[in-house]
Amino acid sequence: MFYKKNIAKILLPIFAAFLSSTVLAQPKVSVPETVRQMGIFHQDETIKYDFVIRNEGDAPLKIADVKASCSCTVAEFDKEIAPGKLGRIHTKINVSGFEGPISKNITVLTNDADKPELTLTIRATVVSWITVKPGFARFSVLQGETGDALLTCVVASSDGTLFKILRASSAVPGVAVSYKEATETQRLPGLSGNQWAVNIQLNNSVNVGPISDYVILTTDHPRQKEIKIPLSGIVRPAFRIEPSKVDLGQIIDVKDVRKYVIIRANSLKDMTIHVTAAEATVKGINVSVKNTPNKNENELEITADPSVAKGVFNGKIIVHTSNSFMPGIEVELKGEVL
């Protein structure tokens, strides 16, 4: 009995130490720097940085995954870090599509129960070799009133390198792009070297609706061969139609059909609207043009006669105008003759 008690006294501390070293052992992640300010980079450069990961625990630290917040960021990492050792997360950021301050996050997933997830951040400022002021072209115009829709962007080398613009274009119909050397009053202050004035103008052939594209400049600059100037905005229609669609509903007696459509000019200027004629593509649906007391406004009266066929119909009202850039307007027409 005495022997067993002494053995128990000897083995108990050993067993406790074993439990402490195995069951209670755990990794502990430590990152000396979670946010890194990288400074200024040009658009043709790549940001590279290694975050240091320290394991201050007494069990292997395992990095299960590293997730970047943007597809432009690539991260490689040490998957296991021994106790007391250092590991690294290698990051690369492609900044070719950015300009100005950027902030990219990397989420690290570990087997540290107290800190299973941590975020690392890289910040930098991206500049182009060529400066464009303003850096975009935005328009909001009315169809047919594009005479004042002109914007000039001044293009200059940020480090004074001499360069030429070789070509300037836009894929948007009705957008004209031209360029010439900037005058003294157009030049951007504080920048040396030659500078260029790029004129972006809309003409009356531009389509109604939103504009979303780029003006593309090709240069002989040794570090930046292409410049993209964002092009956006909207061209509003010259006329508005109320209602924009005509639904005659269910027709029991064609004599009861009487619907009105108002066509108004959107212009705040003196642009007279004149509807010369209008007709429906559905036989038996008649359209007559009437003047109203209001300036720049016409009214269409829609009626029906017995020649309209029974059943559901879908067609259009075709409106003819004296306006050269919008000579025809189409209005959806539907209904059902019972």
Structural domain boundaries, residue 76? 24-127
Whether 18 maps to a domain, the answer reads: no
Same domain, 37 and 49: yes
What stretches of the chain show up as alpha helix (H) in DSSP?
A: 2-22
Order of strands, sheet of 275-280, starting from the edge strand that comes earlier in the sequence? 245-251, 328-337, 311-321, 275-280
Report the range of poorest mean pLDDT among 2-11, 78-87, 316-325.
2-11
Model confidence at 17: pLDDT above 60 = no
**Cα–Cα dist 174/178, whole Å:** 13
Picking from 221, 236, 251, the residue at the C-terminal end of a domain is: 236
- Per-residue CA distances from 187 to 203, 219, 275 (Å): 26, 18, 48
Q: What is the mean pLDDT of the chain?
A: 89
Whether 5 maps to a domain, the answer reads: no
Going by pLDDT thresholds of 50, 70 and 90, the confidence category of residue 272 is: low
Q: Tens digit of pLDDT for each residue in 118-159?
A: 999 999 999 889 999 999 999 998 887 787 799 999 999 988
CATH code of the domain containing 203:
2.60.40.10
- Here the tokens at position 231 are 């092009």
* Structure confidence at residue 109 (pLDDT): 95
Quote the number of domains for the chain: 3
Q: What is the four-CA torsion angle of 121, 43, 71, 28, rounded to 10 degrees? A: -20
Higher per-residue pLDDT: 37 or 240: 37
Picking from 77, 96, 127, the residue at the C-terminal end of a domain is: 127
- Here the tokens at position 70 are 């943007």
